[in-house]
A and B are shown apart, each in its own frame.
Chain A
Amino acid sequence: GENVEQHPSTLSVQEGDSAVIKCTYSDSASNYFPWYKQELGKRPQLIIDIRSNVGEKKDQRIAVTLNKTAKHFSLHITETQPEDSAVYFCAASIGGKAAGNKLTFGGGTRVLVKP
C-alpha cells in the first residue's frame, strides 16, 4: 500500500521567515495530495491541495509543489506569522470516484513560529 514520509518532524522559524515541509510517497498511482493544518485541540483543516496534473499551486502565503517523477511534494509557507504555529500533515490518495477517498498521511510536522 501507499506510504508517505514527512520531514522534518519539528520546525522552528523566526517570524517573517519561510518554512518548507517535504513529503515523499511510494505509490505512483497517487494523484491527489492535500495538506492539513491542525492546531492544538482542533480538527485538521484543509489548507491547500494539488493534483498530479499540476506542478505548483499557490494560495496567498502558501504554495505546494509536486514532482511526480521523484514522487515528492512540498509545502512552502512564506512570511510566517505566529498563527502559522501548528502541526501540518501531508497526505496522498489515488483519488477518483472509483478509487474512493482513502488518504494516507505523513507523520506530521510541528511548526513553531517565534515572534
Chain B
Amino acid sequence: KAGVTQTPRYLIKTRGQQVTLSCSPISGHRSVSWYQQTPGQGLQFLFEYFSETQRNKGNFPGRFSGRQFSNSRSEMNVSTLELGDSALYLCASSQVARGNEQFFGPGTRLTVL
C-alpha cells in the first residue's frame, strides 16, 4: 500500500497570509491526525479527524483549522500566519480497527517570513 502523502512538501509565506496543507492517508485508514513539529516545542498535537468529524483538538488558537473529506483526505488551514507558525506540519493516519497505530507522512515544511 502507498504510504501517507502530503502536499506541498515546502511552502514559503509571509506574515498575515493564509495557507492550506493537504494529507492523503493510507488507503483504508479513516482517521487523520495533524501535528506541528518545531525545535523548541517538539511534536504537538493539533487535531484529529475521523469520518469527516473533528474528534480531538489540541491547544492551538482558532487560526488553525482543518477538515476531512468523504474519501478520508484531510486539509488543514492556518490563517493570519505568524512567524512562530514556521514548522514542519505532519499528518498521520490510522486504521481505527487496529487501535492507535499511527503512520506519518513526510510533512510540509512551512516557513513564514
A97 interfacial contact with B, CB 8 Å: yes
**A-contact 0/1 string along B82-113, CB 8 Å cutoff:** 00000000101010100111111111000000
Chain A residues whose CB sits within 8 angstroms of the CB of B48 once the complex forms: 100-102
Task: Tell me if B43 and A100 are in contact (CB < 8 A).
Answer: no
B7 CB → nearest A CB, Å: 14
Q: Please give the number of chain A residues whose Cβ is less than 8 angstroms from any Cβ of chain B in the complex.
A: 26
Chain B residues whose CB sits within 8 angstroms of the CB of A36 once the complex forms: 104
Minimal Cβ-Cβ distance residue in B for A89: B43
Chain A residues whose CB sits within 8 angstroms of the CB of B42 once the complex forms: 89, 105-108
**A-contact 0/1 string along B39-76, CB 8 Å cutoff:** 00011110010100001101100000000000000000
Chain B residues whose CB sits within 8 angstroms of the CB of A93 once the complex forms: 100
**B-contact 0/1 string along A26-47, CB 8 Å cutoff:** 0000001010100000111110
Task: Tell me if A103 and B99 are in contact (CB < 8 A).
Answer: no
Chain B interface residues (CB < 8 Å from chain A) = 31, 33, 35, 42-45, 48, 50, 55-56, 58-59, 90, 92, 94, 96, 99-107
Q: List 30 A-B pairs, Cβ < 8 Å.
A: A1-B59, A32-B100, A34-B102, A36-B104, A42-B106, A43-B105, A43-B106, A44-B43, A44-B104, A46-B104, A49-B100, A89-B42, A95-B99, A95-B100, A96-B100, A97-B96, A100-B48, A100-B50, A101-B33, A101-B92, A101-B94, A101-B100, A102-B33, A102-B45, A102-B48, A102-B56, A103-B92, A103-B100, A104-B45, A108-B42
